[in-house]
Structure 1
Amino acid sequence: MWVNNAGVLHAGNSWEQPAEVVAQTLDVNVRGMMAGCAAAVNAMSVGGGVILNVASISALTPVPRLAVYAATKAAVVSYTGSLQGELSHVRLPIRARAVCPDVVSTAMVASHAHHPDAALLFSGPKPMSVDEVAAAAMELMDSRQIFRVVPRWRGVIARSTGLVPASGLRALTLMRMLGERRQRSGNQSIVGSDFER
């Protein structure tokens, strides 16, 4: 088993992010994942195994002010599916999977709890625990499914915004306002002590 979990997130309008910040996000979230997959395939080419890439629900929906991050996570999902196709074509006994969690209670998320450009992160339900995501990832690795959104019901909502993009963006504006209100109020669900280290 090989897990590519490294990731960075910088909030803000995409055109205002310095080139070095964009490069870092691409290097860690995309190039790092690709390099990890290449190393894993080489290590598993005889005995087989499973590669798990940690993506994000943001890969499936517009995420204003987190566009660079969302684009890198969309790349993770796309690459994982294509990699699985390549592995199957050459009959290597390796499964490639991508888990797409909603907001998770991590130090990376906690560091954005008061960042106004990251308000959308805090518009949904309470962030999931790392253990919840790990349990879903373990199930995914044993399944035939290539990627999975956790929780699944949030995936349905995320994908629906892509069906009618203009309406979806309006809904995201309302969600962002909710996130901003939670940030201002110091809502325990976004800044509580349950964030993982």
Structure 2
Amino acid sequence: MIQKFTCVPKSNYDITIISNGTISQIQSKLLEIQFDIEINQCSNITYLNSISNLIGFLKSKNDGVNGSNGSNGVNGSNGSNGVNGIYYGKFIFMFFNNMEYIQKFLIECIDYYHKEKLGKLDNVYFYFDSSVIDTEDFPFVTIVNIINDIIKKVNFLVNNIKNVFIDDLQFDGERRICIQYLIRNYPNIEKVNLSSHSNLLMNDMIFT
């Protein structure tokens, strides 16, 4: 399913949101979390709900580029298929409401990993809502392992991860070591935010 809300863009990029959440759920969370993204009434926002939708969306961008640079297009050698190119714009993956969607997401990633040769998404953001786990007192290390698996499976599409936000208030256990583990595995993650802390900077691993 693709829903588009367009206006004359104030910024020089589009925003693509891949999520199983409702539009109102997504919008309310984007107001809460600390992503350095300007979203206003003139932003060009596309809502997608699966990896297959995203692949189709990127292919449509490839077809429309014709060698030029669009705000959310491909900067590649010929622009026709996006191979070795970069997709600009902001891409936000948001996960809500139990593990079923995550399981389907991972399966789709595996299916497309060997099928598609596309460019990379340059500005990627991840949000993991506490509702993905419907059990209280869940170990924090487990949600980090889930996140690690998701990033690993979608890595064939991802160039740079600007921010990973984890709604972690209901999770138990050590945070710092788990986050260090995630960053060591994926040095292309610039920043991790936890709802239990105002900010977590990756350069020095200090909570502020």
Structures share a fold, TM > 0.5? no
- Say which structure, 1 or 2, has more relative contact order (CA 8 Å, 6+ apart): 1
TM-score grouping bracket, smaller chain normalisation: 0.3 to 0.5
Higher percent of residues as helix: 1
Choose between structure 1 and 2: higher strand proportion.
Answer: 2
Normalised to the residue count of structure 1, the TM-score between the two structures is 0.34
The normalised TM-score by structure 2 is 0.32
